[in-house]
Amino acid sequence: MKKLIVANWKLNPPTPKAALALFRAYSQSAKKHPSVKIVACVPAVYLASLAKSARLSNVELGAQDCSSETDGAHTGEISAEMLKESGAAYVIIGHSERRARGETDELVNRKVRAALRAGLRAIICIGETTRDATGEYLEILRRQVQASLRGLKVSDWQRLIVAYEPVWAVGSQAIGVDTPTNFLEQAIFIRKIIKTLSTRQVALAVPILYGGSVDQRNALGFLSEGQAAGLLVGRASLRPERFAEIVLAG
Ligand code: PGA
């Protein structure tokens, strides 16, 4: 299966022009490495203007969040259907930066359902905030996966991608560095939990990405030794030359 390299642009870049330039750099990478699937999860306001470039390239578009609602009195919300109509094929849901702003597992679960109903592929982020010596974090992870992904049909799982992002290793405030070996262990643990929610087949098939300070130096390790199905890249995705090297690792 093609490795999936997902860029999470977060609240960047500041202008549509800069967004187009970054997207074009991705298209060049995609042309050179057709064996890798690239998804750019961009601020929703850039989707429509990048959609044409996306159609002409092998890079797909995604959003970074969606509403759990479909329409009505929800000021500021953007529905999954609107994202799809604007050119998104994927959406990140339950990113730790959104969970830190109060998003609960229950809301994440409703968003996942809304995204799947609209025909998007959902990239659902999970990961513990801290590590402890007694393994309590595993219980936290278990509860997070169970609550965020409960009640899905077998057919839903085919459009679901899990991104394991240990919060302590994410972003410029990261307090630790994760390793491919640890990722591999966590991925096995996550598949065990998924098995309790679905079937053994689903648990084995669902792609699990690694995210958390991925860069051009550690990408290959997570993909090969860590056996990750792909990567979710934050900061390094804003640097075209670094991102190109990450794609090369795929
Ligand atoms: P980072 O972000 O690569 O900057 O750690 C990853 C993410 O937040 O998805």
Model confidence over 86-103: pLDDT tens digits? 999 999 999 999 999 999
Spatial contact of 137 and 20, defined as CB atoms under 8 Å apart: no
For a substitution probing ligand 1, which of 165, 173, 245 has the most ligand atoms within 8 Å of its CB? 165
Q: How far is the CA of 248 from the centre of ligand 1 (A)?
A: 19
CA distance 144 to 104: 9
Q: How far is the CA of 171 from the centre of ligand 1 (A)?
A: 5
Of 127, 134, 129, 54, residue with least CA distance to 90: 54
132-142 per-residue burial string, b: 16 or more CB within 10 A, e: under 16: eeeeebbeebe
Q: How far is the CA of 235 from the centre of ligand 1 (A)?
A: 6
Q: Mean pLDDT of all residues in the chain?
A: 96
**Token pair 């390790």 is at which residue?**
221
If one counts every other C-beta atom within 10 angstroms of the C-beta of residue 226, the result is 23
CA distance 21 to 146: 40
Catalytic residue numbers, as ranges: 95, 165
Banded pLDDT at 118 (limits 50, 70, 90)? very high
Mind listing the pLDDT tens digit for each residue in 43-53? 999 999 999 99
- Please state the atom number of ligand 1 nearest to the C-alpha of residue 211: 6
**Token pair 């219980």 is at which residue?**
139
For a substitution probing ligand 1, which of 39, 99, 235, 243 has the most ligand atoms within 8 Å of its CB? 235
Which H or E run includes 140? helix 136-148
19-29 per-residue burial string, b: 16 or more CB within 10 A, e: under 16: bbebbebbbeb
**What is the arithmetic mean of pLDDT over 3-16?**
98
Which residues, other chains included, contact 95 with Cβ-Cβ below 8 Å and sequence gap of 6+?
Answer: 8, 64, 65, 125, 165
Q: How far is the CA of 199 from the centre of ligand 1 (A)?
A: 30
Give the pLDDT of residue 50.
Answer: 98
Binding-site residues, ligand 1, Cβ < 6 A: 8, 165, 170-171, 211-214, 232-235
Tokens for 137?
Answer: 């974090």
Spatial contact of 250 and 36, defined as CB atoms under 8 Å apart: yes
Whether 188 has a pLDDT exceeding 90, the answer reads yes
Of 103, 13, 42, 97, residue with least CA distance to 67: 103
Is the pTM here over 0.85, yes or no?
A: yes
- Please state the atom number of ligand 1 nearest to the C-alpha of residue 232: 9
- Please state the atom number of ligand 1 nearest to the C-alpha of residue 170: 5
Q: Calculate helix-pair angle for 180-197, 136-148, nearest 10 degrees.
A: 50
Q: How far is the CA of 176 from the centre of ligand 1 (A)?
A: 13
Mind listing the pLDDT tens digit for each residue in 124-154? 999 998 888 888 899 999 999 999 999 999 9
**What is the arithmetic mean of pLDDT over 192-212?**
97
Residue 6: how many CA atoms within 13 Å on its side-chain side? 35
- Please state the atom number of ligand 1 nearest to the C-alpha of residue 215: 3
